[in-house]
Amino acid sequence: MEPNREHKSSVFSTLFNNPEALRELYSAIEGVPIPPDMPIDINTLSNVLIRGQLNDVSFTVDNRLVVLIEHQSTISENLPFRLHDYIGHVYRKIVDYEKRFQRKLEKIPKPEFIVLYNGNEAYPEHKILRLSDAFMDVHGLKLSESNEPPLELIVNVYNINQGYNPEILKKSVILNSYSILISKIWEYRNNKITLAESLEHAIKYCINNNILKDFLMKNGSEVYSWLYGEYNVEDEIAVVKREAREDGHAEGHAEGYLKGREEIARNLLAEGSTFEFVQKISGLSIDEIKKL
C-alpha cells in the first residue's frame, strides 16, 4: 500500500488510502455492505490547508454520496465548523465550476460526516455534534421564528477504542488492528514511559502478534515519524497557553509542555535523528535542540 505523498501522512490516512479499505470501513460503520461493483473514488484534499489542517479521508460512493472521515485523539466541539470548511473545498473539487451557475438544478453527492475517536479520555460510544449548537441566540432580533436552522451540519462521532463499538470493529479488520495499535500506545504511555518508548513497544507488540505486521514492517520508520507527527506538541502548547492565560496559570502549564517537547527531542537525538527531523517533530528551534 503506497502512501499518497501529496496528502497528510498518518497511519490512519495511509491505511485507508485505497477503495477496498474504505469499502470495508464504511460498511462496518453503517452496517450495510457496499456492493463490490459500486465505485468508490477518493478525493481527499491534497495541499489544501484549512486553518493549518488537512482532512484525513474524503471519498464518493457511486458519485451519489460524499463521505468525510476524520480520526481524532481529542474531540473539539468545533468539529462541525471545521468540517463545514472541508466539505466546501471538496465540492469545489468534484463539481464543475460552470455547473454552479447554470439554470438547471445540478444534483450533487449527499454529504456524510464521520469522526472516529481514539483518545485516552472517557468518551461515549456514539455522539452527535451539530453545527447549529454553535449558533448564537437571536431571540428578540425579530428574525425568522422557525426552529429549523437555515444551515446545519451533523457529525457522527464513534469511539473506536478497544471495548467500544465492538460490532464496528468486528466488521473491519483494518480499523480493529489500528485501534489495537493506538490502544497499546496509550497503555504504555499510561505506564509513565516516554512517547518514544511507547511507540517502539506498541509497534513491536503489533508485529509480534501479527497485527498490521506487513504494513508496520514495510513502513516502519515512516510509521514512527507519522505517530510522532500526530502527537502535535506545538498545537497543544498554543491551546494550553491561551486557556491557561485565561485562568492565570500560563507560565506553569507552558513550562510543563516545554519539558515535554525537550523530552521528545532528547529521545530522537539519542536514536540518531537529524536536527532537522527533531525540529519538525518537537517544534523546538535548531539552537534549542543543540543546547539539549
* pLDDT per residue as tens digits for the range 10-32: 889 899 999 999 999 999 999 98
The predicted model gives 138-163 an average pLDDT of 83
Tell me, letter by letter, the H, E, C secondary structure of 52-121: CECCCEEEEECCCEEEEEEEECCCCCCHHHHHHHHHHHHHHHHCCCHHHHCCCCCCCCEEEEEEEECCCC
Per-residue pLDDT, 253: 46
pLDDT band at 252 (very low <50, low <70, confident <90, very high): low
| Residue 116: all three cell numbers together | 472516529
Dihedrals φ, ψ of 121, to 5°?
-105, 155
List the chain domain ranges. Answer: 11-137+149-189, 232-292
Answer whether residue 7 shows pLDDT above 50: no
* pLDDT per residue as tens digits for the range 109-134: 999 999 999 988 899 999 999 999 99
| Residue 2: all three cell numbers together | 503506497
Per-residue pLDDT, 144: 58
d(CA 281, CA 274): 11
- Of residues 95 and 148, more confidence is placed in 95
Range of weakest confidence among 165-169, 186-190, 198-202, 221-225? 221-225
The predicted model gives 177-203 an average pLDDT of 88
**What secondary structure letter does DSSP report for 35?**
P
Answer whether residue 1 shows pLDDT above 50: no
Range of weakest confidence among 96-110, 122-136, 245-259? 245-259
pLDDT band at 275 (very low <50, low <70, confident <90, very high): confident
* pLDDT per residue as tens digits for the range 210-248: 999 999 988 877 787 778 767 544 444 444 455 555 555
Per-residue pLDDT, 148: 79
The predicted model gives 185-205 an average pLDDT of 86
| Residue 268: all three cell numbers together | 530522537
Per-residue pLDDT, 197: 83
Range of weakest confidence among 173-182, 249-258, 282-291? 249-258
| Average pLDDT in the chain | 82
Answer whether residue 41 shows pLDDT above 60: yes
The predicted model gives 51-66 an average pLDDT of 81
Per-residue pLDDT, 234: 44
In this structure, are residues 257 and 236 in contact, taking their beta carbons and an 8 Å threshold?
A: yes
- Nearest of 50, 40, 44, 47 to residue 13 by alpha carbon: 44
Longest Cα pair distance anywhere in the chain, in angstroms? 65
Buried b (16+ CB within 10 A) or exposed e, 238-260: eebeeebeeeeeeeebbeebeeb
